[in-house]
Amino acid sequence: MLKNTTTSPSLLLRIPTMDCSVEEGEIRRALEPIAGIALLDFQLSARTLKINGSPQALLDSADAIAAAGFKSEQLGKSASEAADASADADGLHDDHTHDADSSSDKQMIRLGAALLLAIAAESLSFFAPDTTPWKAAGMAIAAVAIFLAGFDIYKKGFSALIKGKLNINALMTVAITGAFVIGQWPEAAMVMALYAIAELIEAKAVDRARNAIKGLMALAPDTALVRQPDGAWSSQPVTDVLLGQSVRVKPGERMPLDGTITTGNSAVNQAPVTGESIPVDKAPGDQVFAGTINETAELEFTVTALASNSTIARIICAVEQAQSTRAPTQRFVDKFASIYTPTIFILAILVAVLPPLLLDWTWLQAVYKALVLLVIACPCALILSTPVTVVSGLAAGARRGILIKGGTYLESARLLKAVALDKTGTITEGKPQLVHWQALNGADETSVKRFAASLAKRSDHPVSKAIAAGLDVTTDDEKADKVQDFTALVGRGTQGTIAGQTMVLGNHRLIEERKQCSQELEATLKEQEQLGRTVTLLANERGVLALFAVADTIRTTSLAAITKLKNMGVTPVMLTGDNAATAQAVAKEAGIDDARGNLLPEEKLAVIKDMQVKYGATGMTGDGINDAPALAQADVGFAMGGAGTDTAIEAADVVIMNDDLGRIAEVIDLSERTYSVLWQNITLALGIKAVFFVWAVFGDATMWMAVFADMGASLLVVANGLRLLRFRGQSVR
């Protein structure tokens, strides 16, 4: 599902104050001059940065990050250490979360004290006599409030100004320093205290979005009951469990690791991984995932993936990687903000200089209004409007068993006009099943059923297996109808002697070779084949005794899923390597009007290209290696994660963990909602700023009002973006 590549040597750093793309951009710019850096891998959700490069480049990088005003914690040095640290990122994140909770409480107390001092400074300014001692006392209190609230902001702001970079911290530093210099010290203190408190609240809200998917990791137990070499069972940490070891899980417990069931039958609640609300029956040979819940009976399974590589761990890792990619709207906003901030700074300078020269404003009045503009202009809300929304959308999808590999695909899925659907394993179950059988020429149904089952159970051919499973003959009947002289007839079927009779269980071709076909039988065979079924016939020396029709049945969810897509204005097209008759029969049953059969992988690729010309944005859904080229060509590729091959999953942009086609409509619905919220947030952020901008220039807006406008807008867009976490996929347009 996820490829991890490392280049030696590497350095993994955790940067606690790296909250959004602004800080990421500052760190990138700080590292640009350093020669020898091969790769920068930012993970904003975990606040980590992995750097690949020469040893000297790694040393210089740590120094450059510190010089830019960012504290960092080293998690790994070499490539192997970095990989180990990355694999354990969730545990590290949890540890830091506990530390952060304590630190956050202390920070809130400190900021509360700063706010009380700022209020005291405001009170002195308003009520105290306008004399030097009182002014000095008020300025001293304001200075302490500013120190408590924003020393880190000041450090970053001055660092940015020295380097000629106009970011949020630079704007706030200029505005607050200017206010203090012109005698507006109470407002300077109030602005800094309110700004710092709002930043802390905002950071907590953003973390909620980024860490929404992290809760999945907590679902997997820390320990597992493992069989020891002497046969005894003992509990041990999941991190110590090796591949191939046997694990036992009691009813009501969660699976500690991924594995294949060896003993037991039970219902398993797979909602944490696949989003399925109904428990799935599991038997020996079936796969189980870490974090899922064993409902009814004890199970034993063989471990197939280490704790750091479980399905849940890979989902979380993939979502984190997806969070680091930029959606189109996010790239637009980041570019806009890079132009917007210096433009506002220049505009503030013009407001400070021109009105005293051209109008009847005083210099103090003009400078104050310019400082208010700087506070209003901080692009926090604008920059936060996109990543919080995108991350919430990615997390909402993951909770539904939909792994979207980046904001680009989350945002572009809404544009799909057509979706190509592979037949086998996507629309259908991918497993042949006996769907019809009948005795012919007056043969006894009970006898031919037993004879056919006895022959079918001796063969490993998928069609024979389907017949044996469908007939479900008892063990006593098998003993009574023991097969002797069993022979496999390559490309035709099987032959054996049962109860003294030589019998064959084979295809149409074998019966024709035996000259046992009649016009009536040919008509029956044609009728079955037109339904897309594979027909097998049971015959003895005297004639054909029975007909068995096997087909790859469509999934129970396929018809409803196709109907949803049509209701959304998306045209479904079925692609398959099977013959045209089978393709048409399955398509008709699934409600698809356009079906293409006899397609090789390169021909599926050509069909996708044609659909892109005919319909526009086109999706592709598949699960096999032969679907990979078409998945890669499509505007959005959907892979079936449950039954899908690794190649198909790697090539796809969206992985559907429970193989439910209905999730495609959910992705499109989620994409539309995400896009709508993105532009709601952008409109909110710019609209609120525009109103206060006019009020600041032509009215009496104060600096602390400007802070409420700026940070209020930021909190609004964060809260609006978080609404996507409640997505449950019910509504379809």
Active-site residues: which are they?
422
> Helices in 163-262 by DSSP H: which ranges?
168-181, 185-210
By three-state DSSP, how is residue 26 classified?
helix
CB burial class (10 A; 0-12, 13-18, 19+) of residue 347? middle
d(CA 251, CA 269): 11
d(CA 11, CA 119): 45
Whose tokens are 């089952």? That residue is: 453
Write the DSSP symbol of residue 1. Answer: -
d(CA 276, CA 284): 21
Beta bridge partners of 16: none
Are 495 and 536 in contact by the 8 Å Cβ rule? The answer is no
What residues have CB less than 8 Å from 603, skipping those under 6 apart?
none
> Helices in 48-184 by DSSP H: which ranges?
55-67, 79-87, 89-127, 132-162, 168-181
Whose tokens are 């706010």? That residue is: 115
Backbone angles phi, psi at 429, to 5 degrees: -70, -25
CA angle 150, 191, 106 (to 5 degrees): 40
Packing angle of the helix pair 703-722, 662-698 (nearest 10 deg): 170
Note if the bond before 9 is cis, omega within 30 degrees: yes
SS3 of 29-44: HHHCCCCCEEEEEEEC
d(CA 207, CA 575): 43
d(CA 375, CA 383): 15
d(CA 128, CA 121): 10
> Sign of the C-alpha dihedral, residues 715, 716, 722, 726?
positive
d(CA 663, CA 402): 7
CB burial class (10 A; 0-12, 13-18, 19+) of residue 342? middle
Structural element, H or E, at residue 225: strand 223-227
> Helices in 260-406 by DSSP H: which ranges?
271-274, 311-323, 328-358, 363-377, 380-384, 387-399
Structural element, H or E, at residue 248: strand 246-249
Edge-to-edge strands, sheet with 246-249: 233-237, 223-227, 246-249, 299-303, 259-263, 287-288
